[in-house]
Amino acid sequence: MVMTVVLFVLGLVLICLGGDRLVDAAVAIANKIGIPQIVVGATIVSLGTTLPEILVSTTAAFDGSAAIAAGNAFGSIICNTALIAGLTQTIKPNPRVETAPLAWRAGLFFIVIILLDICGFMTGSFGRPAGFLLLATFVAYAVLNIVRAGAEGGGSEEDGAVEDVSLVKQLLILAVCAALLYVGANLLVDNGILIAQAIGVPERVIAVTFIALGTSLPELVTSIMSLIKGYENVGFGNILGANTLNLLAVIGIPAAVVGIPLEAQTYRMDIPLAILVMAILILPILVRKKSSRIQGILLLAIYFGYCVISFI
């Protein structure tokens, strides 16, 4: 039991260290190449923090358990948006959001998730053709991010000269930090479950807490660190990018490999709820170019209600 507690604490330390340095590296990269922080958050950072979901879904597909991929992906979107973005916007609303890079990424997200919901209603699964289409969209999304990087430039949100930093060094730091987040999240979740079981916490409560939040810990830590350091747009971009990658890669890979059978709850409740919470987060920001505390409180209330319904 002592070793379990030690590993749990080690996991917490690793994700805190990884999240802290990941944010610094992301901001340094944004400053160096002259793109808004929201863009680097929606691309490089989100790829790093979404690795746990991608690895879990890919491994599950090859192990014959592809069905967990849909719950993993849509559950993460709901958690990222309603809990993590809700929490950060409640604590400190973002006073200025760069809407140009946000608009087309949000549009792509909504188009893909609505089509997936229609596909779920009509077929009850995400077949291999849908998987290949999602992966093709992922490639197009990656290319579009590279092509539009120059057009979305204009420097960071911080005034002053560009720091003399090594881009390669910062990318390596970011990769190492993403690995620390992944290892730390696994240690925290696995040993947290053992501790909860040892003190008599019911298995269903464990399922809707540790396991549900486990793969979203990197996004949570990155968003909190971004908030603490005053780089709110990095955390916000990370949420948007991670949610898009959940659709294109976390679902796309296992669907392309073996296809994903869906439970009715997925396309009747989980996907519509994911659309709702993203609409609550994104649409007011596109109109007002800033977020509000009301959005955060509403998102947290929705997440609390979702947890209660799931538990019941």
Render pLDDT for 68-124 as a digit per residue (tens, 0 to 9): 678 778 888 998 999 999 999 999 888 888 787 888 999 999 999 999 999 999 999
The CATH number that domain 13-151+165-311 falls under is 1.20.1420.30
| Confidence at 198, pLDDT banded by 50, 70, 90 | confident
Q: Can you tell me the distance from the alpha carbon of 139 to that of 112, in angstroms, rounded to the nearest whole number?
A: 14
Q: Are 257 and 50 in contact (CB under 8 A)?
A: no
pTM for this one? 0.80
Out of 2-11, 51-60, 235-244, pick the least confident. 51-60
For residues 297 and 182, which has the higher predicted lDDT (pLDDT)?
Answer: 297
Q: Which amino acid is at 15?
A: I
Out of 50-54, 247-251, 268-272, pick the least confident. 50-54
Q: Nearest to residue 102, comparing CAs of 232, 259, 270, 276?
A: 232
Residue 206 has pLDDT above 60, yes or no: no
Q: Are 36 and 30 in contact (CB under 8 A)?
A: yes
pLDDT value of position 201: 63
pLDDT value of position 115: 96
Q: Model confidence over 215-238: pLDDT tens digits? A: 677 778 788 888 887 777 788 888
Domain ranges of the chain: 13-151+165-311
Residues contacting 11, CB < 8 A, separation 6+: 183, 184, 185, 186, 187, 188, 189, 191
pLDDT value of position 311: 66
| Confidence at 204, pLDDT banded by 50, 70, 90 | very low
